A and B are shown apart, each in its own frame.
Chain A
């Protein structure tokens, strides 16, 4: 079983990397681009035999304990 965790800065937290990427896209002529936000993806291989509900519960715990800093970041989890 695979879990994918997406972590990004919360709305309202300044994302200078996203802004720099947005500025660069503008310079390259991609005028349709507005705000850009950067985040990261973490892929986890989980042991087989775990129920989807258990996997979600455990991965949420991992996010709260290590994978995300919920003071400034939000996260979402995809299982499967």
Chain B
């Protein structure tokens, strides 16, 4: 699987994503600086990493979505490439228009950082197929703007089309209908606030993230 991690100024989970991809795929992901106008050829997967791109200026993810690499990311998604958008990456993906909805300030106003239990809402996606009969995972969360919002019609559509990938067990941020992660219409883009790349059997975070990357490997 050929993958790339987009690095924005203020990204801080880009190396976690790099390490996770290296561990699962055995290949080195390309680290692509946001000012590059183009992506490597024949890419299977783009990871939009967590962090605080552009210091969250204006709105979380808004400036990153307007950066020079933005059009190349949209083009990759448009031709059916996989995109894994984690935390700040999820915010960037909604700002890019790859996923519906928006991420608002946590209802508690607190920056919340802890292991978070999640229900796997669909195991038929390219990102979750490897979990098979497993119903729950624990991924770390660490965010201030993770309160997923979309209008009722959009939420109904997401649920009706099986595009909710993960739900919080114990909603940490006020997200509509406990939604922690959503899929694009073609199922190839996943945006989620929790961090699977920090749950890779390291010294902390458990190992529940491994199967997400293995699922992608099998699909791509």
Binding site for B on A (CB under 8 A): 9, 13-14, 16-17, 20, 65-67, 69, 71-72
Could you tell me if B58 and A72 are in contact, using CB atoms closer than 8 angstroms?
Answer: no
Chain A residues positioned under 8 Å from B59 (CB to CB): 69
| B74-115 interface bits toward A, Cβ cutoff 8 Å, 1 = contact, 0 = none | 000000000000000000001100001110111111000000
- B66 at interface (Cβ–Cβ under 8 A)? yes
* CA–CA, A36 and B58, complex, Å: 20
Could you tell me if A72 and B105 are in contact, using CB atoms closer than 8 angstroms?
Answer: no
Could you tell me if A17 and B109 are in contact, using CB atoms closer than 8 angstroms?
Answer: yes
Instruction: Report the tally of A-B residue pairs with Cβ distances under 8 A.
Output: 35
What are 19 A-B pairs at a CB distance below 8 A? Answer: A9-B104, A14-B147, A16-B104, A16-B105, A16-B106, A16-B107, A16-B108, A16-B109, A17-B109, A20-B109, A66-B58, A66-B62, A66-B66, A69-B59, A69-B95, A69-B102, A71-B101, A71-B149, A71-B150
Q: A69-B59, A71-B150 are in contact. Are A14 and B107 (CB under 8 A)?
A: yes
B61: nearest chain-A partner, CB-CB = A69
Q: From residue A5, how far is it (CB to closest CB) to chain B in Å?
A: 11
Q: Interface of chain B, helix or strand or loop or mixed?
A: loop
Could you tell me if B104 and A14 are in contact, using CB atoms closer than 8 angstroms?
Answer: yes
Chain B residues positioned under 8 Å from A16 (CB to CB): 104-109, 174
| B154-178 interface bits toward A, Cβ cutoff 8 Å, 1 = contact, 0 = none | 0000000000000000000010000
Chain A residues positioned under 8 Å from B174 (CB to CB): 14, 16
Could you tell me if B104 and A67 are in contact, using CB atoms closer than 8 angstroms?
Answer: no
* CA–CA, A20 and B101, complex, Å: 24
Partner of B58, one of A9, A67, A71: A67
Q: A66-B58, A69-B59, A69-B95 are in contact. Are A17 and B149 (CB under 8 A)?
A: no
Chain B residues positioned under 8 Å from A71 (CB to CB): 94, 100-102, 149-150
Could you tell me if B109 and A69 are in contact, using CB atoms closer than 8 angstroms?
Answer: no
Most chain A Cβ neighbours within 10 Å, of B58, B94, B101, B174: B58
Chain A residues positioned under 8 Å from B94 (CB to CB): 71
* CA–CA, A66 and B104, complex, Å: 16
Could you tell me if B149 and A13 are in contact, using CB atoms closer than 8 angstroms?
Answer: yes
Chain A residues positioned under 8 Å from B62 (CB to CB): 66, 69
* CA–CA, A66 and B64, complex, Å: 11
Could you tell me if B109 and A72 are in contact, using CB atoms closer than 8 angstroms?
Answer: no
Q: From residue B80, how far is it (CB to closest CB) to chain A in Å?
A: 24
| B43-79 interface bits toward A, Cβ cutoff 8 Å, 1 = contact, 0 = none | 0000000000000001100100010000000000000
